[in-house]
A and B are shown apart, each in its own frame.
Chain A
Amino acid sequence: MRGRHILIIGGGIAGVTAALELAEMGIPSTIVERENRLGGRASVFACKASEKCNKCFACVVDNQIQEVTRTPQVKIMTRTTLEGVSGKPGRFKAQVQSNGGKTLLEASALLVATGVDFFDARCKPEYGYGMFQNVITAQDLDEMLRSTGGVYRPSDGKIPSKIAFFQCVGSRDETIGHLWCSKVCCAYALRFMKAIRHQNPEIQTSFFYIDIQPLGRSFQSLLQSCRQDEGMRLIRSLPSKIYGRRTSTDLRMRFIDPVSGEIVEEGFDLIVLSIGMTPRQDADSIAQVLQIPKNEEGFYRSPPENSGIFLSGACKGPRDIANSIIDTKSTAQKIIQYLGGM
């Protein structure tokens, strides 16, 4: 009988869910998290409900994080990084570096749940992120919604009247070599629009896209309700450049109007860039330590099943909270299988 202990690398939603799921199965685990708190990317997301829940799963993240801190089988090490791994599958010895120095952890299997980076919108200078105050990323908007409960223009703190959402910023883009779809951004932006319009029907929103990508079961009803809403325009056209001044509340752009079919110029006072997901910048270092293969895009590919190393969550490729949770639960079962049953 092997001493069962799983080392989870990454304390985002995938890592936290894995720890909880394993704890329920009676297997202790240690979470190694680089930041000083658990939760990762998903923990700053705000609730995007309108008159009903829009299934963004942000509330689940909060619940899971609180739950895991109260689960005695889970040891949490924040501000800790993985330095090296020795030993053989089933009996790994992992060296981790934390504030208190180096520690050697024994683990029967490793679970990598390092997640993704968000695309740096500054790499698309034509959109002026970082230059124009009122051009923000969807992540900025999320944090704003969570901490203030509303939407405001960063330049003067006033409520915007016209918001534009730009899709596929950093995804499906050959010019920067990102030949993948980030899968979640369409649903994410549409939910935002629903939530914002529900809170303040005065705000007009426009959604600029290439193709609308469905996500999950309730997407049909979400899309339908968005199409029926007069204050929400879905425009199949991506403006190539944003014109404006630093604190300007009039950011102008040109696009093809879906009604007239002509190129029109229009101003918006807040522009939200739906940034895509990219492989982590430090993906290589962990891949090298653990010898995880990568795919063409730079996301991890599953190592052979007998290697004792498992992947879960968005490090395998973009996915949303719901899919990360489901994926992690399935990985937990694979770990059980690997450990030879209960």
Chain B
Amino acid sequence: MVSFCPRIVAFCCDKSGYVAADMAGELGMSLPEGLDIIRVPCAGRIDAFHMLKALENGADGVLIFACHEENCQSLTGNLMAKARMGYVYGIMESIGLERERLELCNLATNNGVKFAETVRRKCEDLERLGPSPVK
């Protein structure tokens, strides 16, 4: 099998995920080149439609970086994202997409290491899973 470089769409909350991504950069941690960072004002902004759109547009995996529970500037934004993911999981199952292709990760502004590790782990998972069948 030819190894491939998975395309990961990472939705990053402006209050936590994006700052952590910057910190990962400052620490010089290596990130997979297929990573595509999308900055959103809050994880609650991400609609089920956006997650599915990303998968439809050829992303092998979608990551959502939200604030820790009880640490969201918008109180419920991270919980909203989680709830919408539940809905998307149902759709993914019915169209035969693996559950691993969508994941939520809670982190704080100073979790640069966790950001890099989560992305790297996801990248490995996706390499094992192979390219998205949607492509």
Q: Pick 24 A–B contacts, CB within 8 A, sort by A.
A: A47-B110, A47-B111, A49-B71, A49-B106, A49-B107, A49-B108, A51-B69, A52-B69, A52-B71, A52-B106, A53-B67, A53-B68, A58-B108, A58-B110, A59-B108, A62-B19, A62-B109, A62-B110, A146-B113, A147-B113, A148-B113, A149-B113, A149-B114, A149-B117
Bound together, the chains give a CA A35 to CA B113 distance in angstroms of 25
Given known A-B contacts A46-B110, A47-B111, A49-B106, A59 and B69 have beta carbons under 8 A apart: no
Chain B residues near A45: list those with CB within 8 A: 110
* B contact residues vs A (CB 8 Å cutoff): 16, 19, 27, 67-71, 106-111, 113-114, 117
* A contact residues vs B (CB 8 Å cutoff): 45-47, 49, 51-53, 55, 58-59, 62-63, 66, 146-149
CB of A272, distance to nearest CB on chain B (Å): 19
Q: Do B69 and A53 touch across chains, with their CB atoms under 8 A apart?
A: yes
Given known A-B contacts A149-B114, A149-B117, A63 and B109 have beta carbons under 8 A apart: yes
Would you call the interface of chain B mostly helix, strand, loop, or mixed? Answer: loop
CB of A59, distance to nearest CB on chain B (Å): 4
Q: Do A47 and B108 touch across chains, with their CB atoms under 8 A apart?
A: yes
Bound together, the chains give a CA A66 to CA B67 distance in angstroms of 18
Chain B residues near A46: list those with CB within 8 A: 110
Q: Do B117 and A52 touch across chains, with their CB atoms under 8 A apart?
A: no
CB of B66, distance to nearest CB on chain A (Å): 11
Chain B residues near A62: list those with CB within 8 A: 19, 109-110
Closest chain A residue to B27, Cβ basis = A147
Bound together, the chains give a CA A147 to CA B69 distance in angstroms of 23
Given known A-B contacts A59-B16, A62-B19, A146 and B110 have beta carbons under 8 A apart: yes
Chain A residues near B67: list those with CB within 8 A: 53
The 5 closest A-B pairs by CB, nearest first: A149-B113, A53-B71, A52-B69, A53-B68, A47-B108
Bound together, the chains give a CA A224 to CA B38 distance in angstroms of 38
Closest chain A residue to B72, Cβ basis = A53
Chain A residues near B110: list those with CB within 8 A: 45-47, 58-59, 62, 146
Chain B residues near A66: list those with CB within 8 A: 19
Chain A residues near B27: list those with CB within 8 A: 147
